[in-house]
Amino acid sequence: MNEQPFFSSLIESYFIALGVLIGGSIIGGIAAFITGKPPLTEIFNLSNSIRIWAIIAAIGGTFDAVYSFERGVLHGQTKDIVKQCLLILAAFGGAQSGAQLIIWLTQEHISR
């Protein structure tokens, strides 16, 4: 089984977190519209509450990250620790970018 090159995994991690956050928020906004709630406010609230799940989805679950850290610490493979940290940072960046786009879309920060 061939592993992906690291740089492409880094880019995928960023865009997966971005897509999960934006997609989940927009779909949740559609559900809010159907149920009679204010859609833009719900989109904003959902983007704040699903941010951590976007990060977890982007890094592929928590067990892979823990296993990479274990390999790095116990087996002296510091390259794995650095790679995992960069993947997590890329996921954080994707989630933060998605949250910022949602803030610009909804303009909820103006009303608060």
Would you give the DSSP letter of residue 36? T
CA distances from residue 57 to 6, 96, 104 in whole angstroms, order as listed: 17, 14, 24
Q: Find the angle CA(71)-CA(77)-CA(82) to the nearest 5 degrees.
A: 95
Residues 6+ apart with CB under 8 A from 26: 43
Q: Which of 42, 18, 20 is nearest to 31 (CA)?
A: 42
The pTM of this model reads 0.82
Chain segment 74-102, per-residue pLDDT in tens: 777 778 788 888 989 999 999 999 999 99
Chain segment 29-79, per-residue pLDDT in tens: 999 999 999 999 999 999 999 999 999 888 886 566 667 767 777 777 778
Phi-psi region of 4 (alpha: psi -120 to 50; beta: other; left: phi over 0): beta
